[in-house]
Amino acid sequence: MLKRFLPNDYVESIHNVTPEMLKQHNIKGVITDLDNTLVAWDEPDATQEVIEWIQSLQSHDIQVVIISNNNEERVSTFSSPLNVSFISKARKPMQKAFNKARTDMGLNRNDVAVVGDQVLTDVFGGNRSKYYTILVVPIVKTDGFFTRFNRIVERRLLKYFRRKGYLHWED
């Protein structure tokens, strides 16, 4: 049961998720979280580095969809200037938004990776939907109100996975 919370891969940031890495796993589409994955949770706009990351994926024919539990105004304001599809109020880890994103991209399950900073929403939801999951280190150590509760459970899970030898990064 706990393995559903274990990512297939884990990296320091989205910038370590390269087109070459994704192509090694035959990934043609990325479902990515927004807050604390692409930018800090309180940062309204994409940084130049995030813009270049998305463009790099797209230039290698890798589709990108942003899914977030945040409200439509927040996600739309961020995604629209990038011309990237998005799903707001996703209710992660529920599978509906993950599967809608995959269907919208016209891809099979094996062609999709989920990238996010939270074990309980991004990784668990991606694993439940049978996608390749990549956990990234949160951009900032602060979180929104509800995410703080998830982090308590997440720290325990990550500690367990490290102790068992499944993960090798430090807090």
Q: Which of 1-10, 65-74, 105-114 has the lowest mean pLDDT?
A: 1-10
What average pLDDT score do residues 57-86 get? 96
Instruction: Give the distance from CA 148 to its chain's centroid.
Output: 17
Is the per-residue pLDDT at 116 higher than 60? Answer: yes
What is the pLDDT at residue 21?
97
Q: Is residue 168 part of a domain?
A: no
The model carries a pTM of: 0.88
Q: Is residue 61 part of a domain?
A: yes
- CATH number reported for the structural domain that contains residue 133 in this entry: 3.40.50.1000
Instruction: Give the distance from CA 26 to its chain's centroid.
Output: 17
What is the pLDDT at residue 171?
47
Q: Which residue has the higher pLDDT, 153 or 130?
A: 130
Tally of domains in the chain:
1
Q: Is residue 171 part of a domain?
A: no
Q: Is residue 159 part of a domain?
A: yes
Could you tell me what percent of the chain has a pLDDT over 70? Answer: 92
Tokens of 167: 């993960």
Q: Is residue 79 part of a domain?
A: yes
Q: How many residues does this entry show for the chain?
A: 171
What are the backbone angles phi and psi of residue 77, rounded to the nearest 5°?
Answer: -60, -35
Residue 65 and residue 31: Cα distance in Å, rounded? 5
Q: Is residue 170 part of a domain?
A: no
Q: Is residue 169 part of a domain?
A: no
Domain that holds residue 95: 2-163
Q: Which residue has the higher pLDDT, 169 or 52?
A: 52
Q: Is residue 111 part of a domain?
A: yes
